[in-house]
Amino acid sequence: MNDLNDLNPVSQLDLMMPLAAIALGCLAAAIALVVLVIVLSRPRRRRVTTDRRGVHMDGNALARWRSEVDDIVRRHDEGTLSREDAFVELAEVARRFASVALGADVSASTLAELSLLPRTSGNQHSLDLLKQTIGALYPPEFADATLNPHANSVDVRQAAAWVSNLIERWR
């Protein structure tokens, strides 16, 4: 039988260097993942190009919308369009313009529904302006002028200026 004294034990393994290398590798991978998460979580920047412009930015389209507003004012001044009908048509122009510019039908949206539209940094200003314009057109369009002094004080030219402002300032 073998004598236990004849056994040659193996020397202790030195694992310090391989474990240190593995730890450094894991640390580098963790740092890389943190940087990757930060970079990928940032909002993407949209490239602004001069070739792709929305319908609302086109000069011909703007002229067409301005012409519609001017036609409403002209017909009201001539007496062929009542004040109330002029306000209704101005609100319709504002809503049709916004529908085309947004690519979504807002022709029958209430102020509350306009507030719920998805907002981005690109359309927030325009949606706020739309809501403000429609909100300003509501009293003259719907309110009883005898009960609401604001509804009686707004004239068609002033309301047309609001709609024109919406068209000009849309982004």
Domain range list for the chain: 55-169
Mean pLDDT on 18-47: 86
pLDDT at site 52: 36
Q: What is the DSSP string of 75-144?
A: HHHHTSS-HHHHHHHHHHHHHHHHHHHHTS--TT--HHHHHTS---TTTHHHHHHHHHHHHHHHHHHHS-
Q: Residue holding tokens 């009542």? A: 82
**Given pLDDT bands bounded at 50, 70 and 90, which one contains residue 26?**
very high
pLDDT digit string, tens, across residues 62-85: 889 999 999 999 999 999 999 889
Burial of 93 (0-12, 13-18, 19+ CB in 10 A): buried
Q: Is the pLDDT of residue 18 over 50?
A: yes
Answer for the pair 136, 159: CB distance below 8 angstroms, yes or no.
Answer: yes
pLDDT digit string, tens, across residues 84-106: 899 889 999 999 999 898 888 99
pLDDT at site 148: 61
